[in-house]
Amino acid sequence: MPADFDTIVNLAKKRGFVFQSSEIYGGLRSAYDYGPLGVELLRNVKEQWWHAMVRIRGDVVGLDSAVIQAPQVWEASGHLGSFSDPLVECRNCHNRFREDKLESLDQCPSCGRRDTFTEAREFQLMFRTNMGPVESDENTVYLRPETAQGIFLNFDNVRRTSRLKLPFGIAQIGKAFRNEITPEKFVFRTREFDQMEMEFFCRPEDAERWHNYWLEQRMNWYHDLGIDPDRIRLRRHEQDELAHYAERTDDVEYLFPWGWDELEGIANRADFDLRQHAEHSGKDIRYFDQEANERFFPHVIEPAAGATRTTFALLIDAYEEEDVRGDTRVVLKLDKRLAPIKVAVLPLSKKPELLEVSDRIADELRPHRAVEHDITQSIGRRYRRQDEIGTPLCVTVDFETLDDRAVTVRDRDTMAQERVTIEGLGPYLTDKLG
Comparing CB distances to ligand GAP, the nearer of 38 and 265 is 265
Helices (DSSP H) in 295-369: which residue ranges? 307-318, 352-365
* C-beta separation of 249 from 268 below 8 A: yes
The answer to whether the CB of 192 falls within 8 A of the CB of 175 is: yes
* Minimum distance of ligand GAP from residue 293's CB (angstroms): 33
Query: What is the rounded distance in angstroms from the CA atom of residue 211 to the CA atom of residue 219?
Result: 12
Buried residues in 276-300 as b, exposed as e (16+ CB within 10 A): bbbeeeeeebbbeeeeeeeeebbbb
CB 277 within 8 A of CB 298: no
CB of 304 to ligand GAP, least distance (A): 4
The span from the CA of 117 to the CA of 103, in Å, is 13
Q: Tell the smallest beta-carbon distance from residue 323 to ligand GAP (Å).
A: 34
Least distance from C-beta 252 to ligand GAP, angstroms?
A: 8
Among the listed residues 309, 305, 300, the one whose alpha carbon sits nearest the alpha carbon of residue 60? 300
Write out the H or E segment, with its range, that includes residue 383: helix 379-389
Q: How far is CA 96 from CA 58, 87, 194, in A?
A: 48, 7, 25
CB of 340 to ligand GAP, least distance (A): 20
Closest distance of CB 237 from ligand GAP, Å: 10
Least Å distance, CB 30 to ligand GAP, is: 8
Q: Which is nearer to ligand GAP, 180 or 388 (CB)?
A: 180
- Of 2 and 265, the one with the shorter C-beta distance to ligand GAP is 265
Residues that bind ligand GAP (CB under 6 A): 146, 148, 178, 180, 189-190, 193, 195, 197, 262-265, 302, 304-306, 308-309
How far is the C-alpha of 259 from the C-alpha of 2, rounded, in Å?
13
* Position of minimal CB gap to ligand GAP: 306
Sign of CA dihedral 260, 265, 266, 269: positive
